[in-house]
Amino acid sequence: MVLWMNAICKEISMPHLGVGSYSCIEVSIRGRLAKRSKKTAPFLIASCRLIAMRKSYQTMAGNKSLNAAIKAKQDEFYTQINDISNELKHYRNHFCGKVVFCNCDDPYESNFFKYFALNFNSLGLKKLIATCYDGSPVMGNELLLQFDTPNCEPKKIAYKVEITEVDDYNGDGAVNLADVAYLLQNDKNVLSRLKGNGDFRSPECVELLKQTDIVCTNPPFSLFREYVAQLMKYEKKFLIIGNQNALKYKEIFPLIMRNQLWLGNKSGDMSFQVPDSYEARETRYWQDNSGQKWRSLGNICWYTNLDHKKRHELLDLIREYSPKEYPTYDNYPAINVNKFADIPCDYDGIMGVPITFIDKYNPDQFEILGVLNHGCDSEFDLAKPTINGKDLYSRILIRKKK
Ligand SMILES: C[S@@+](CC[C@H](N)C(=O)[O-])C[C@H]1O[C@@H](n2cnc3c(N)ncnc32)[C@H](O)[C@@H]1O
């Protein structure tokens, strides 16, 4: 690897290799650059040039109005590998012989890609595909093209990586830039530039989706509805990160009711790396010793349609029903239960429970009948939750299964 890096670094000083002038379509790194063609050179050089210039790019990214729209949408939350592996361990049995697609994931910085690359053999994967969206702001910075125009902002390119064989790693126990390059030295693994921008809705990404068994990623929060709709349209299995607020979306709640989508294992707090361009906040924000910015969110969860053990655990019911403790809503014939732990064991009618119940929902034990929110959000939003004229938080309407 040192030789490999040295070889490329030498090339960095070759001024005539302006990457913008090449149409670098297909790049497959084979045999430690031995078979490098004219077409692959710019790509590799751009990559290495960037490593060398990483710091200055970070400053550029921080100072300019880089991707202002994305910044406003706050979509760039990068998942930690521990959070991924802690969740994925509950689904290992689903992956053998499967094609996994991480469709919002730059392989050089996404821990989803790294997790699946690391566990490719132990999960028995058939193929791993990851696509990189060119709208991502500079973050890891490892794979960018620097166009020759001075003052030009660094631009991320859209590309895909397809992995079908993972040899033993170089033994350093980590998957990083060097390891991704190492992976690509295998003839069976290919890195190629996408024609479009890598949007998960683009025709070429949809084609990749069609050949996929399981999609796994943390999709852009601002496009969550559309993202899930696409998964449903193509009837894909998935395990994705989202915000708990999405539970109440009129596009998402019916899927939960119909048991087409449910929560994974972990819900609640999660910390994410965010780009340099993200502004400091008073709460749930910090910078670590390396200067990396972090944000945490308290209402994150996994959404999936892969079955898992927790989903079939019975919720212990220890309370008994009394009309005084469990009053009926003003405008809907159901009793109000303030905490899911208080669901009475001896009540067979309809009950309104807090949204947090979804995390304990076992479809063998309960059925979901609707929601009490504004009374008008969708056909499943059956009333506003009020008791004696007092407004309550949203409730999910459930009933015990016979
Ligand atoms: C919440 S971040 C998560 C990144 C990565 N999956 C991870 O978990 O670390 C969502 C990513 O989706 C990318 N993205 C935004 N819009 C996209 C789109 N339309 N198609 C594909 N990716 C998109 C963002 O640039 C961002 O990198």
What is the spatial distance between Cα 353 and Cα 398, in angstroms, rounded to a whole number? Answer: 7
**CA max distance for the chain:** 83
Residues 211 and 300 in one domain: yes
- The answer as to whether 319 is a domain residue is yes
pLDDT at 148: 35
Beta strand 285-287 with 335-336: parallel, antiparallel or unpaired?
Answer: unpaired
Residues 277 and 328 in one domain: no
User: Residue 200: left if φ>0, alpha if ψ -120 to 50, beta else—which one?
Assistant: alpha
Say if CB 385 and CB 395 are below 8 A apart: yes
Dihedral of the CA atoms 166, 170, 171, 177 (nearest 10)?
-90
Ligand 1 atom nearest the C-alpha of 199 is: 20
State the Cα angle at 179 between 167 and 125, rounded to 5°: 45
- The answer as to whether 1 is a domain residue is no
What is the spatial distance between Cα 224 and Cα 74, in angstroms, rounded to a whole number? Answer: 13
Residues 175 and 240 in one domain: yes
Residue in 264, 260, 221, 272 with CA at minimum distance from that of residue 73: 221
Residue closest via CA to ligand 1's atom 16 equals 220
Residues 345 and 205 in one domain: no
DSSP string of 356-388, one letter each residue: GGGGG--TTTEEEEEEESSS-SSTTEEE--EET
State the Cα angle at 396 between 306 and 73, rounded to 5°: 65
Residue closest via CA to ligand 1's atom 20 equals 199
Tokens of 147: 């166009």
Residues 262 and 331 in one domain: no
What is the spatial distance between Cα 348 and Cα 336, in angstroms, rounded to a whole number? Answer: 13
pLDDT at 65: 35
Count of domains observed in the chain: 2
What is the spatial distance between Cα 82 and Cα 93, in angstroms, rounded to a whole number? Answer: 19
pLDDT at 134: 86
- The answer as to whether 33 is a domain residue is no
- What b/e readout covers 128-147, taking b as 16+ CB neighbours within 10 angstroms? bbbbbbbbbbbbbbbbbbbe
Domain final position from 248, 277, 310: 310
What is the spatial distance between Cα 169 and Cα 95, in angstroms, rounded to a whole number? Answer: 21
Residues 291 and 341 in one domain: no
Name residue 244's amino acid. Q
C-alpha of residue 218 to centroid of ligand 1, in Å: 7
Residue in 252, 284, 259, 250 with CA at minimum distance from that of residue 269: 284
Q: Which of 104, 133, 138, 194 to mutate to test the pocket of ligand 1 (most atoms within 8 A of CB)?
A: 104
Domain final position from 310, 337, 362: 310
C-alpha of residue 103 to centroid of ligand 1, in Å: 8
- The answer as to whether 102 is a domain residue is yes
Name residue 11's amino acid. E
CATH number of the domain encompassing residue 241: 3.40.50
C-alpha of residue 347 to centroid of ligand 1, in Å: 45
pLDDT at 152: 53
Q: Which of 74, 87, 133, 159 to mutate to test the pocket of ligand 1 (most atoms within 8 A of CB)?
A: 133
Residues 277 and 338 in one domain: no
- The answer as to whether 93 is a domain residue is yes
Tokens of 284: 């749930």
- The answer as to whether 149 is a domain residue is no
Count of CB atoms situated within 10 Å of the CB of 43 = 23
Q: Which domain holds residue 357?
A: 314-400
Q: Tens of pLDDT along the chain (402 residues)?
A: 333 333 333 333 323 323 332 222 233 333 333 333 333 433 343 343 333 333 333 333 333 433 443 445 778 899 999 999 999 999 999 999 999 999 999 888 899 999 999 899 999 999 999 999 987 665 444 444 433 344 555 556 899 999 998 876 555 555 555 677 778 888 889 999 999 999 999 999 999 999 999 999 999 999 999 999 999 999 999 999 999 999 989 999 999 999 999 999 999 999 999 999 999 999 999 999 999 999 999 999 999 999 999 999 999 999 999 999 999 999 999 999 999 999 999 999 999 999 999 999 999 999 999 999 999 988 999 999 999 999 999 999 999 998
pLDDT at 169: 56
Name residue 79's amino acid. T
- The answer as to whether 50 is a domain residue is no
Ligand 1 atom nearest the C-alpha of 84 is: 8
C-alpha of residue 357 to centroid of ligand 1, in Å: 29
Residues 218 and 347 in one domain: no
Tokens of 313: 């655990």
Q: E strand or H helix at 390, and its extent?
A: strand 390-391
- Classify the C-alpha dihedral 303-364-359-391 as positive or negative: positive
Ligand 1 atom nearest the C-alpha of 136 is: 25
Domain final position from 310, 342, 373: 310
Residues 321 and 240 in one domain: no
- The answer as to whether 56 is a domain residue is no
User: Residue 119: left if φ>0, alpha if ψ -120 to 50, beta else—which one?
Assistant: alpha
Say if CB 126 and CB 164 are below 8 A apart: yes
Residues 220 and 273 in one domain: yes
Residues 280 and 376 in one domain: no
Beta strand 127-132 with 159-163: parallel, antiparallel or unpaired?
Answer: antiparallel
pLDDT at 26: 30
Ligand 1 atom nearest the C-alpha of 75 is: 1
- β-bridge mates for residue 101, sequence order: 129, 215
Q: Which residues line ligand 1 (CB under 6 A)?
A: 75-79, 104-105, 110-112, 133, 135-136, 198-200, 217-220, 223
Helices (H) and strands (E) in the chain, counts: 11, 20
C-alpha of residue 349 to centroid of ligand 1, in Å: 43
C-alpha of residue 78 to centroid of ligand 1, in Å: 9
Residues 85 and 201 in one domain: yes
What is the spatial distance between Cα 101 and Cα 83, in angstroms, rounded to a whole number? Answer: 18
